[in-house]
Amino acid sequence: MSTVLYEQKGQIGIMTINREKQLNALQITVLEDLSAVLDAVNLEEVRCLILTGAGKKSFVAGADIAEMNTLSQGEATAFSKKGNDILRKLEVFPIPVICAINGFCLGGGCELALSCDMRICAETAIFGQPEVGLGIMTGFGGSQRLPRLVGTGMAKELLYMGGKIDATEALRIGLVNHVYALDELLLEAEKMANKIAKNAPIAVRNTKKSIAKGLEVSLDEAIYVEAEIFGTCFETEDQKEGMGAFLDKRKPTGFVNK
């Protein structure tokens, strides 16, 4: 049985890390299954993804320490590179990915969440990068993505001290977008995903691409990157329908991703 379940509901897809008894701890098999699920997503139909964990206690409680414990230096480097390749695949996936964090979000789990476009969480969620207490550091991009998201000072505090923060603090520092009651979390994630799915897919995908490419260069270069990608939205059926509906003072009849 796959360690990552997938369900398509209309125009959204839901991926669930399925190791509830192990608090959904990451193994390389989990990451490989996640990669396989991404490969199988029907991008002609699906316009937004949700990533969550099975059960009510944990999104992902971290990497599987037993799997890492005996790694040599070379094996550890290879393990990190493979994990990073898969998390990067998630990060640059053409459509938005919403992470619905339903409990513990620690170590590799937090790094997995950081690779998503947006994060929402349950009131019970706990976040942290405890790697330094194990004699190691983040290996799946945490030392790179966390400073970009919450600022260098706060990221260094979390990474150097190896402590944990609750949902309220995660919201305050910008690690998550919203906090909900646990029983409402997935419903709210689906609402968010469906709102995204109603918009023109070409426009949403191009916006994601523009943000990603723009963050890699200077602002002077980034605004020209945006201009080029902006231009590709035109002469499409969705642009004609969207603007036509606005001028006709009606709602769009539906976007077709063309």
- DSSP per position, 107-160: THHHHHHHTSSEEEEETT-EEE--GGGGT----SSHHHHHHHHH-HHHHHHHHH
Active-site residue flag, 241: no
Pure H helices in 11-107 = 28-40, 65-68, 73-91
Q: Report the alpha-carbon distance of residue 84 to residue 90 in Å, rounded.
A: 10
Q: Report the alpha-carbon distance of residue 75 to residue 11 in Å, rounded.
A: 40
Residue 119 is given by DSSP the state E
Structure tokens at 233: 């939205």
Active-site residue flag, 91: no
**Residue recorded with tokens 């036509």:** 244
Amino acid identity for residue 210 in this structure: S
Q: Which of 142, 143, 167 is nearest to 59 (CA)?
A: 167
* Helix and strand counts by DSSP (H, E) for the chain: 11, 10
The three-state secondary structure class of 141 is coil
Pairing of the two strands 48-53 and 97-101: parallel
Residue 63 is given by DSSP the state B
Choose, from 20, 32, 91, 131, the residue flagged as catalytic.
Answer: 131
Query: Which are the catalytic amino acids?
Result: 111, 131
